[in-house]
Structure 1
Amino acid sequence: MTGEELRSTTVHDWKSKHVLVTGGASFIGSHLVDALVGRGARVRVVDNLSSGRRENIADHIASGAVEFREADLLRSDVVDAATAGTDVVFHIAADHGGRGYIDLHQVACSTNLVLDGMVFRSAERAGAEKVVFASSGCVYPEHLQNDPGELLYLTEGLVAPPYAADNLYGWAKLMGELTLRAYCAEGRLAAASVRYFTAYGPRCPESHAVMAMIARAMTGQDPFEIWGTGEQVRNWTHVQDIVEGTIRAAEEIHDGTAVNIGTMERTSVVECAREVLAYMGREARFVFDPSKPTGPYNRVSDLTLCRELLGWEPEIDFKTGLRSTIDWYLEAHDESEVRRTLEFALTERRHA
């Protein structure tokens, strides 16, 4: 494709589009499916259900709005069949979990290097117009994110040689971004990469910090365990904003540019824990465990490029999003079952 042809692939009318969502039964993927179906897109989902759940998109399958295939995208025949006839590929699938998972399952996360390359190559061969890649704040150099007291906002340009991504998960995401830029530079695909920052919300598993804290409070844990010192700063971003940013990137970015999707609210882990306990009417003594996986101590996105390219920024403030997520969790979960499975769920992605 020429530069002009790449620009012409910008999408706005979803009703005319055949869309593939890899990992579309997962936490983020299923919310993306909801939004795309709502926009009238014809959606295909391929998911091996290693962490996704069929029930997340069951209504769409039953209505015929979504074609669902339970299959492994690491098989070449599966990925080629998945991309066939699609206009836009949202590549959400990854071997991924929360901080405990990506720290303790490095080999599993390394398979994303293979997965991403297979999806991109297959999308091009199938004649897809665009690939939208779910990247991560893990592509940013870890050494920049050590001081929780520093007023730091990560700008996209900080991902540059010499690269220093966060674990094999972060390196795989970085390589995915660079690969897509190469496809665009050679005129072979249009693409966008979206760097997600610490998503949370309904359907999110307990391997992610916010959900772990909600689960600990639900089960009355006291002392209440916090991994690390509790000083870790994050910008937790509600899944509805993650999805809206992803679709807007599909609509506005064609040249492989990577853009942050996250808020600029700075909230420490211990502040989050206090808010969870307060809203749930619980009291507990905190106990800190710095030996557990924590990730960088200061990870918050800058939104300058997001505002410039997408004309948008996340809209759900953390306190509002957290409270609605707690309400969902309490309604959707049984306390005894949470108590039984919590320790497993903190570091795994498969169902206990």
Structure 2
Amino acid sequence: MRILVTGGAGFIGSHLCERLVGEGHDVLCLDNFFTGNKRNIARLMGNERFELIRHDITQPILLEVDRIYNLACPASPIHYQYNPVKTIKTSVMGAINMLGLAKRVRARILQASTSEIYGDPQVHPQTEEYWGNVNPIGIRSCYDEGKRVAETLMMDYHRQNGVDVRIIRIFNTYGPRMAENDGRVVSNFIVQALRGEDLTVYGEGSQTRSFCYVDDLVDGMIRMMECEDFIGPVNLGNPTETTILEFAQRIIGLTGSSSKIIFNPLPADDPKQRRPDISLAGEKLGWSPKVDVATGLKQTIDYFAGVLGRK
């Protein structure tokens, strides 16, 4: 098939592009490089099945494709809060433009939504039926509410215009090609540990997260795209839960670092708990994570060691 991946030069998008090219598809990678990096797709640039388009999805584009994976949007708090208006425009106007394209060419479109639509959840673990607890005027709302509106648009285009949509909700994902400056827990801790710096934990570190390796996520995304008679939304993530403090201690151990842990004030609206209920993904997609955290973290640490060593 001919497949469009928006945000294809990003962390997750580049892994998805590689997998799709490897399966024999023609892949159009669309990115404006706000957070994407050409280094992520360098190994694909000479492949005849791969094409790079520099474009911002807040502007319309005309292409002939069979599938659209809509991943374009800054996904880390540092990046999406840098330009919050741009962030919500990417989620909302980008979704409208990609849905318009899907409608015109009769393509199936998958929306990469997020666990952030659950906000600071009052239900634990989070199921797809939970509507969330989101602050609509907070510093994270440009991302949280932008993604919620994108889900709304997907369902309205589906109901009103018959567009073939799929919705996934991505929980914390990690792996090679994460940006070292994106402010996320995994990259922050690994980079700090490798540099011998103090690891920064916010609050008391009692807040919990669940971390899914990128290869597992990509497998779930493709399964969802090709699943018939189920449009979602569906949670994709690893249900193994850990506190941030425990995770920091684990990174120090795996890197053999002499770093210490320091504590800073908790950011506004930071979720206290985050763990997906993935029973629906198991039932509808036959999907569950396969890569254990120790294996995934080793590969991620090796990647960052290489990146930092080249500087």
User: What TM-score does the superposition give when structure 1 sets the normalisation length?
Assistant: 0.81
User: Which residue identity does 1:280 align to in structure 2?
Assistant: T
Does residue 116 (structure 1) correspond to residue 62 (structure 2)? The answer is no
**Alpha-carbon distance change, 134 to 142 in structure 1, aligned in 2, over 3 angstroms:** same
User: Which residue identity does 1:159 align to in structure 2?
Assistant: W
Mean Cα deviation higher: 234-243 or 254-263 = 254-263
Mean Cα deviation higher: 102-111 or 35-44 = 102-111
Q: 1:107 aligns with which of 78, 82, 85?
A: 85
Does residue 159 (structure 1) correspond to residue 131 (structure 2)? The answer is yes
Q: Deviations over 1:278-307 (max 9, x none)?
A: 011113332110244672010110011111
Q: 1:216 aligns with which of 177, 192, 206?
A: 192
Q: Deviations over 1:218-238 (max 9, x none)?
A: 11114x322232112011111
Structure 2: 5+ residue stretches without partners: none
Q: Percent same amino acid among aligned pairs?
A: 29
**Alpha-carbon distance change, 101 to 55 in structure 1, aligned in 2, over 3 angstroms:** closer
Q: Greater Rg, structure 1 or structure 2?
A: 1
1:43-192 aligned within 5 A: 43-76=27-60, 79-80=61-62, 84-94=63-73, 96-103=74-81, 105-111=83-89, 112-128=91-107, 130-144=108-122, 152-159=124-131, 167-192=141-166
CA RMSD in angstroms, aligned pairs only: 2.0
SS at match of 2:109: strand
Q: 2:252 aligns with which of 252, 277, 280?
A: 277
SS at match of 1:75: coil
Does residue 296 (structure 1) correspond to residue 271 (structure 2)? The answer is yes
Indicate the residue corresponding to 1:328 in structure 2: 303
Following superposition, the deviation at residue 253 of structure 1 comes to: 4.7
Q: Deviations over 1:187-228 (max 9, x none)?
A: 521111110001110001132210110010111114x32223
Mean Cα deviation higher: 170-179 or 261-270 = 170-179
Residues 181 and 256 of structure 1 are in contact (CA less than 8 Å); yes or no, is this contact kept in structure 2?
no
Indicate the residue corresponding to 1:244 in structure 2: 219
Indicate the residue corresponding to 2:3 in structure 1: 19
Residues 28 and 52 of structure 2 are in contact (CA less than 8 Å); yes or no, is this contact kept in structure 1?
yes
User: Which residue identity does 1:85 align to in structure 2?
Assistant: E
Residues 35 and 79 of structure 2 are in contact (CA less than 8 Å); yes or no, is this contact kept in structure 1?
no
Q: In 1, Cα distance between the equivalents of 2:134 and 2:272?
A: 19
Indicate the residue corresponding to 2:12 in structure 1: 28
Q: In 2, Cα distance between the equivalents of 1:270 and 1:103?
A: 24
Does residue 231 (structure 1) correspond to residue 183 (structure 2)? The answer is no
User: Which residue identity does 2:41 align to in structure 1?
Assistant: I
Q: Deviations over 1:45-82 (max 9, x none)?
A: 11111111122222222121201111222222xx22xx
Residues 120 and 273 of structure 2 are in contact (CA less than 8 Å); yes or no, is this contact kept in structure 1?
no
User: What TM-score does the superposition give when structure 2 sets the normalisation length?
Assistant: 0.91
Q: How many residues align?
A: 305
Residues 140 and 158 of structure 1 are in contact (CA less than 8 Å); yes or no, is this contact kept in structure 2?
yes
Mean Cα deviation higher: 85-94 or 166-175 = 166-175
**Alpha-carbon distance change, 19 to 205 in structure 1, aligned in 2, over 3 angstroms:** same
Q: In 2, Cα distance between the equivalents of 1:294 and 1:240?
A: 29
Following superposition, the deviation at residue 257 of structure 1 comes to: 1.6
User: Which residue identity does 2:67 align to in structure 1?
Assistant: V
Indicate the residue corresponding to 2:233 in structure 1: 258
Q: In 1, Cα distance between the equivalents of 2:51 and 2:261?
A: 46
Following superposition, the deviation at residue 163 of structure 1 comes to: 7.1
